[in-house]
Chains A and B, each alone.
Chain A
Amino acid sequence: MLHFSPWKQVAIIVTCLLGLLLVVPNFVSKETLAQWPRWVPKTQLNLGLDLRGGAHLLLSMEVADVRKDWLNTLRDDARRRLREAKIPFTALGITNNAVQVRLAKAEDTDAALKTLRGLIQQTGNALLGTSITDLEVTKAEGGLIRLAPTEAGLQHRISSAVGAAIETVRRRVDAMGTTEPTIVRQGSSRILVQVPGLHDTAQLEELIGKTARLTFHEVHASTSAEEGRQRPPPGYKVYESEDKEEGAQLLNETPVVRGDELVDAQPGFDQRTNEPIITFRFNNAGARKFGNFTKDHVNRPFAIVLDDKVISAPVIREPILGGSGQISGNFTVETATQLAIQLRSGALPAKLTIIEKRTVGPSLGADSIEAGKLAGIIGGIATIILTILAYGTFGLFACVGLIVHGLLTVALMSLAGSALTLPGIAGLVLGIAMAVDANVLIYERIREEVRAGRTAIAAIDAGFTRAFITIADSQLTTLACALVMFWLGAGPIRGFAVTLTIGICTSIFASVTVVRLLIYYWLNSNKRVHRAIELPV
């Protein structure tokens, strides 16, 4: 029956007022908002990048880099372990995505397998029983031992490399001083970077695109780079220099220390020559490695390599035991500062490529908002006129329901923190048109019941009850569609799906419950003045 308990009435009205309260902050500036009392909600609707302007970059990690890095480390670890176990071997190298060792004596095979299996790491969650081994150590024919990374192990490496890269990218973006950047993982090897308000992405791309892999290498003691170019000794490789004039260096491929062990890097000036330099400091592990190395290599050069290019190869004058040092090269103040930022924000574990980029300038975003507002207002007015024309007083109630629908949709979007995008505005406006449909269904049904000869109250009651089945069916099918969009959606589709979903959820409350309450009040007031109840539909 058409009846509302007082509690229900209060609940409905409070919900509407709450919606209003949550929407109000969107109409005032941030400054005014700050002065409001603390209990007032201050969340404003989050605008998508296409409306506020900004940059959207999708980065992809080079999986091959991660694999290569791992295999290099693995080879060196294998060499170290075999030497420690005093097992002689004749060859050690990387072939077919695996490390292969040829033992000198076949009878050492079991001992070698045992010591090399110590390199296997269990990754994953042991508690959940999802533990995996990252490496397979197997015996191949002819005294060969193969250390092959497993697919699961590689995935784990990639995953942690992406995690590390996200941190690095975040630090680099923060170093630019932009506001509220979003940096999240997407899929297994991708990173999504969204920077609102940033339009010119050149600097950002440069910072992200640079791998800035800083490494410190041993320089080969006797062979020069020229000789090394002809026949490099095992484990050594010729690295070109940053500027062509200074010679290339023949360096040990395995770095002594990596940039990720660096804790600080600052631009500065050399006290004697006054040229720009970069001072740096290692963490404990890095300092220990660097200290040991410099102790053993006094009066020999070592190379500072950035992105596989030698930037300087100073001679070690004395052991650097404290972990601090300085890099000098042909820097200008700008390049020294830039390099210091890159060093400070850490080394990227692998190269990141930009595979998708979308930027929207602030003026276009503002234009779109204006256009959306205008279209929304005109569309809204058209809807209101049509509804009132068709259903009179009840049409007016439907319009109130529509306004509540709009308020609640915006309120829920502010609460959920989901961004309003350009297609989202269309979704919002379309949601309003769809909400009208609920009222049209109800009112047409009431008219039918009246034509069938029912009394006013019975017709209203039957109209709401019977139309509700249809409304639920039609809203649920649209919801199914919206959820598919959200599930599969990328970019604009997702924004649209969120708005549509929220719109569907609020429309049942606004167009059915609120309108029903209004009709209930209207009936009561008509009864009180003893007016004969005549339906305005």
Chain B
Amino acid sequence: MRFIPNFKGYDFFPHDLRLPFMRYKGICLALSIVGMALSLLIIGVKGFNYGVDFKGGSMLEVQSVSGPADIAALRDKLGKLGLGAVQIQSFGKPTDVLIRVEQQPGGDAEQQVALKKVTDALAGQYTQLRVELVGPAVSSELRMTGIIAVFAGLLAIVAYVWFRFEWQFALGAIVALTHDVLLVAGIFSLLQLEFDLSIVAALLTILGYSVNDTVVVSDRIRENLRKFKRMDLNELLNLSINETLSRTILTGITAIAVLISLYIFGGEVIRNFNLAMLLGVVIGTYSSIFIAAPLLGYLGVKREWVGKAPKPTGAGAARRARRENVAFK
């Protein structure tokens, strides 16, 4: 190991800095509530631009055999097939076109017929790169699964946080996570970006990342609560956020760097997925600093409760044990 050079890392972070996060907690929370309300409003008014996964119908990514695709001609040709609204857009390269055919009235067989009509019309001029067809039964199931997945993910996380910390932490986490998911969903609705199964996966990952951040801050809060028994809660929360700030920022920068690279170079097919993740990491980092921890300032934490680390025997047992502890004092 002697040949490994010893060189010091650059500690970029001014550790003496104490940013007064808690002083602005009211404004931050108000801003976030407005953001969430706006997102709900936008989703309510504009809805989502659902992909075939959730809406049913079919989608084709095709490539022109000779030169750039003539989208106008294509639109004209496919419009005459009588398949309702056919969306046609350029996709990544000038030769590539994305075609969406809405769900046809009737059952699964009708979707097949519609897809066949489109592929027959394209034959010779375009090669198919990708075809997706989702029937009405499957799309409604996927929609249901998507919603359940997000809620189940949220519940699983909150249950874990509750088990490891206290209900105030769990409440802070659930508000922060709901905030993240709502905001990303709101942006997707606002920009009418395609919302499909992969976006649900992205939302779930955002949940994971954001709670990761929240847990790191919460862990520090818990530690400081044991260390500084008499410190004012707001001051203690502020200290905890500041102490973990260097980590929050460094990890955030790394994750964002990787996601930007994925967004730029990762290809057209998963661009929206990567965009959702990128938004989620930024919003998730914000929420764990500006929502989860400040909320504790409002909710308050019973100081005696954290006098001892909860034994991992279930929340109920741990709480009982702690109650007895208090009684003995």
Residues of A at the B interface (CB closer than 8 Å) are: 50, 58, 60, 199, 205, 353-361, 363-364, 367-368, 371-372, 374-375, 378-380, 382-383, 386-396, 422-423, 425-427, 429-430, 432-434, 436-437, 440-441, 443-444, 447-448, 451, 466, 469-470, 473-474, 476-478, 480-485, 487-493, 496-497, 500, 521-522, 524-526, 528-529, 534, 536-537
Residues of A within 8 A of B18 (CB): none
Q: How far is the CA of A50 from the CA of B270 in the complex (A)?
A: 11
B259: interface (CB < 8 Å): yes
Q: How far is the CA of A436 from the CA of B253 in the complex (A)?
A: 11
Contact of B216 with A429 in the complex, beta carbons under 8 Å: no
Among candidates A374, A430, A534, A536, residue contacting B258 with C-beta atoms closer than 8 Å: A430
Q: Which of B31-39, B73-81, B122-130, B320-328 contacts A (4 or more CB under 8 A)?
A: B122-130
Interchain nearest-CB distance for B248 vs A (Å): 9
Residues of B within 8 A of A389 (CB): 9-10
6 A-B residue pairs with CB within 8 Å: A50-B269, A364-B130, A470-B219, A470-B220, A477-B212, A526-B6
Among candidates B127, B142, B205, residue contacting A490 with C-beta atoms closer than 8 Å: B142
Contact of A390 with B269 in the complex, beta carbons under 8 Å: no
Residues of B within 8 A of A490 (CB): 142, 145, 197
Contact of B211 with A441 in the complex, beta carbons under 8 Å: no
Q: How far is the CA of A493 from the CA of B244 in the complex (A)?
A: 32
Question: Which 3 pairs from chain A and chain B are nearest by CB?
Answer: A371-B267, A392-B9, A525-B1
Contact of B149 with A493 in the complex, beta carbons under 8 Å: yes
Contact of A473 with B274 in the complex, beta carbons under 8 Å: no
Write the chain B residue with the least CB distance to A535.
Answer: B8
Given contacts A357-B132, A386-B253, A481-B156, contact A422 B269 (CB under 8 A): yes
Residues of B at the A interface (CB closer than 8 Å) are: 1-2, 4-12, 15, 61, 107-109, 112, 115, 127-135, 137-138, 142, 145, 148-149, 152-153, 156-157, 159-161, 164, 197-198, 200-201, 204-205, 207-209, 211-212, 215-216, 219-220, 223, 243-244, 246-247, 250-251, 253-255, 257-259, 261-262, 264-267, 269-270, 273-274, 277
Q: How far is the CA of A359 from the CA of B58 in the complex (A)?
A: 11
Q: How far is the CA of A80 from the CA of B255 in the complex (A)?
A: 73
Given contacts A474-B212, A529-B2, contact A451 B15 (CB under 8 A): yes
Beyond the given A359-B128, A488-B149, could you list 16 further A-B residue pairs with CB under 8 A, ordered by the A residue number?
A199-B128, A358-B132, A359-B130, A380-B258, A390-B11, A432-B258, A440-B247, A444-B246, A474-B216, A480-B159, A490-B197, A493-B201, A524-B1, A525-B1, A525-B2, A537-B11
Q: Which of B4, B109, B157, B201 gathers the greatest number of chain A CB atoms within 10 Å?
A: B201
Residues of A within 8 A of B270 (CB): 368, 422-423, 426
Q: Which of A387, A429, A524 gathers the greatest number of chain B CB atoms within 10 Å?
A: A429
Residues of A within 8 A of B253 (CB): 386
Given contacts A441-B216, A477-B160, contact A363 B1 (CB under 8 A): no
Contact of B211 with A478 in the complex, beta carbons under 8 Å: yes
Interchain nearest-CB distance for B315 vs A (Å): 15
Among candidates B11, B246, B255, B266, residue contacting A375 with C-beta atoms closer than 8 Å: B266
Contact of A382 with B157 in the complex, beta carbons under 8 Å: no
Interchain nearest-CB distance for B127 vs A (Å): 7
Write the chain A residue with the least CB distance to B223.
Answer: A466
Interchain nearest-CB distance for B146 vs A (Å): 8
Q: How far is the CA of A524 from the CA of B2 in the complex (A)?
A: 10
Contact of A375 with B108 in the complex, beta carbons under 8 Å: no
Among candidates B4, B107, B152, B261, residue contacting A488 with C-beta atoms closer than 8 Å: B152
Residues of A within 8 A of B109 (CB): 353
Contact of A375 with B160 in the complex, beta carbons under 8 Å: no
Main SS of the interface on chain A? helix
Contact of A433 with B255 in the complex, beta carbons under 8 Å: yes
Among candidates A422, A427, A536, residue contacting B8 with C-beta atoms closer than 8 Å: A536
Residues of B within 8 A of A482 (CB): 208
Residues of A within 8 A of B61 (CB): 364
Write the chain B residue with the least CB distance to A370.
Answer: B267
Q: How far is the CA of A386 from the CA of B251 in the complex (A)?
A: 10
Write the chain A residue with the least CB distance to B132.
Answer: A358
Interchain nearest-CB distance for A161 vs B (Å): 18
Among candidates B7, B131, B273, residue contacting A426 with C-beta atoms closer than 8 Å: B273
Q: How far is the CA of A440 from the CA of B160 in the complex (A)?
A: 23
Interchain nearest-CB distance for A210 vs B (Å): 13
Interchain nearest-CB distance for A397 vs B (Å): 9
Contact of B132 with A536 in the complex, beta carbons under 8 Å: no
Residues of A within 8 A of B112 (CB): 205, 354
Contact of A358 with B131 in the complex, beta carbons under 8 Å: yes
Among candidates A371, A386, A440, A491, residue contacting B266 with C-beta atoms closer than 8 Å: A371
Contact of B130 with A437 in the complex, beta carbons under 8 Å: no
Interchain nearest-CB distance for B188 vs A (Å): 16
Write the chain A residue with the least CB distance to B134.
Answer: A356
Interchain nearest-CB distance for A401 vs B (Å): 14
Residues of B within 8 A of A354 (CB): 108, 112, 133, 135
Residues of A within 8 A of B133 (CB): 354, 356-358
Interchain nearest-CB distance for A517 vs B (Å): 11
Given contacts A430-B277, A480-B160, contact A440 B10 (CB under 8 A): no
Contact of A423 with B9 in the complex, beta carbons under 8 Å: no
Interchain nearest-CB distance for B161 vs A (Å): 7
Contact of A379 with B130 in the complex, beta carbons under 8 Å: no
Given contacts A355-B137, A426-B273, A469-B219, contact A492 B197 (CB under 8 A): yes
Write the chain A residue with the least CB distance to B93.
Answer: A367
Write the chain A residue with the least CB distance to B246.
Answer: A444
Among candidates A372, A393, A427, A492, residue contacting B7 with C-beta atoms closer than 8 Å: A393
Contact of A440 with B129 in the complex, beta carbons under 8 Å: no
Residues of A within 8 A of B129 (CB): 360-361, 363-364
Contact of A436 with B254 in the complex, beta carbons under 8 Å: yes
Interchain nearest-CB distance for B133 vs A (Å): 4
Q: How far is the CA of A521 from the CA of B264 in the complex (A)?
A: 39
